[in-house]
Every structure is written in C-alpha cells, then in structure tokens.
Amino acid sequence: MEETLGKAVQRETPFQVDWACSGCQKKGVNTIQYKKNVVVVVSEPQLKGIVSRLYCRPGFYLQMHPDGTLDGTKDEGSSSSLFNLIPVGLRVVAIQGTKTGLYIAMNCDGYLYTSEHFTPECKFKECVFENYYVTYSSVLYRQRESGRAWYIGINRDGQVMKGNRVKKTKAAAHFLPKLIEDCMSPPSLHHLGKEVGKGICQ
C-alpha cells in the first residue's frame, strides 16, 4: 500500500490491506486496532449515492483534483467539487469524488487522503449541528482522553485541515450539502480484503 499524505493520494491492492497503522498506538489516539495477516473477503452492499457539493462556512466548496488532492474552491461550478454521499450505516456516510471515483479517508494521524477502495477509514459520521450545518467526523479515530471527534475541515485559506485540529464549534467544520441529483446507477463499492481482529475502542 502506498500512501502520499502531501498529495492526499493512496494506492492499494485489493485483499492486501494492512490497517495496523504505526501511529495509531501512540498516546492520545483512540482507535480500533486489527490483527495482521488475517484476511476475509467481504462484499459491500450496492448503495445509491446522492450527488452534492459540500459548501464550507469559510466560503469554500470541498473539491477533489484528478490526482486525489483535496482542497477548497470558491468556484461553485467546479466539476471537481461534486461528491457522492453514500450511506454506509446509521448516520454514517462515505464521500466519493464523482470524477475520480476515489473516497475521502482520514488516517490515524488525522490527515485526510483519498483511497481507490472503500475502507474503514472512509467512514464519516454525519451530524446536523445546532446552526443546521453538517459536520463529518471520523468513525474510526478520536482523542482518547477527551473523546473529542476528529472532523473534516477547511480553513480560511481553502486548505483541508488535520482532523484533530478541527473543532465542531468552528466554521471550518461546518458544511452545507447542496443537492445536485440522485445517482441513476449506484457506485461500485469494491470487494475488500478486510482484516478481522479484536476491536479495541474506548
């Protein structure tokens, strides 16, 4: 698996996924750990996505470039700002770029990247905040001591932020999904090689 955080790109081979992130066991990170070398083929359900633009309160639309890089744009008509919001659980979504087919993910250090395949790091809890904006937090990672969630966020310069630096009360974490259309055909959620292990989550 090759992962380039600076470019927000991940490449991986199906059925050879290793989620034992070396940084996950450091102090202050609460996560689910998986045993190595235990591989099970899991078929993900075929689900409909909703094509939307994600407008962030600082004035940017989240966008995904062809190389997988994530940032913000003020161009409302940019085709790179179109995403499939795919329900994958109760108030849990996967966010997939419509042009690239890549999924937004967050790793154990709080960095956002993009993945060719749907993995546990691609799951985000979708919550409506008190001001009717929506927040997206990692399902897998959060601060251990405080229990504070890690959020997708865009700063005032249009750059995506580390999840552990984004607070849910700040504008950087507040998104307004602007519905474009329902997908006519469901996106392909790939057969995954998921490692099965004992979940450690507090």
**What single string gives the DSSP state of each residue in 151-170?**
E--B-TTSBB--GGG--TTS
CA distance 86 to 189: 10
The model's pTM: 0.70
| pLDDT tens-digit series, residues 87-136 | 999 999 999 999 999 999 999 999 999 999 999 999 999 999 888 899 99
The predicted structure's pLDDT at residue 47: 58
Domains of the chain, first to last: 2-195 (2.80.10.50)
The predicted structure's pLDDT at residue 130: 80
Pick 187 or 166 by higher pLDDT.
166
Pick 11 or 76 by higher pLDDT.
76
Whole-number average pLDDT of the chain: 77
Mean pLDDT, rounded, for 47-68: 93
DSSP helix/strand/coil, 128:
strand
Q: Which of 24-38, 70-84, 173-187 has the highest mean pLDDT?
A: 70-84
Beta-carbon-side half-sphere exposure of residue 19 (alpha carbons within 13 Å): 26
Instruction: Write b or e for each residue in 140-177: b if 16 or more Cβ atoms lie within 10 A of its Cβ, otherwise e.
Output: bbbeeeeeebbbbbbbeebebbbbbebebeebbbbbeb
